[in-house]
């Protein structure tokens, strides 16, 4: 969670650390406003770090069961 220069607080994915600050990216590049538009966020404007998501629950991928062919 970070504060951009205009005061907007947003949850973004930290992509990399640069000399001028953290480069943050959104989950949907075509629709999100992130460091590509607003530049790097200084370390002092990083407000929190998300370590787990409780809701909505992450999707579980269930692989289909493969049945053996009997000849």
Which pTM value belongs to this model?
A: 0.65
Q: Give the C-alpha separation, 49 to 55, whole Å.
A: 16
pLDDT of residue 65: 66
For the chain, give every domain's residue range. Answer: 2-45
- The per-residue pLDDT string of the chain (71 residues; one tens digit each, 9 = 90 and over) reads 999 988 999 989 999 999 999 999 988 888 888 999 999 999 999 999 888 877 777 677 666 666 677 66
Is residue 22 within 8 Å of residue 10, measured between CB atoms? Answer: no
Q: What share of the chain is helix, strand, coil (3-state, %, to 5)?
A: 10, 25, 65
Q: Which residues contact 42 (CB under 8 A, 6 or more apart)?
A: 20, 21, 22
pLDDT of residue 21: 95
């Amino acid at each position: 969670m970070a504060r951009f220069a205009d005061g907007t607080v947003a949850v973004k994915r930290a992509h990399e650390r640069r000399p001028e600050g953290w480069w943050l990216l959104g989950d949907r590049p075509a629709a999100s406003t992130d460091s590509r538009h607003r530049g790097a966020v200084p370390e002092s404007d990083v407000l929190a770090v998300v370590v787990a998501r409780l809701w909505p629950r992450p999707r579980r991928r269930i692989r289909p069961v493969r049945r053996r062919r009997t000849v």
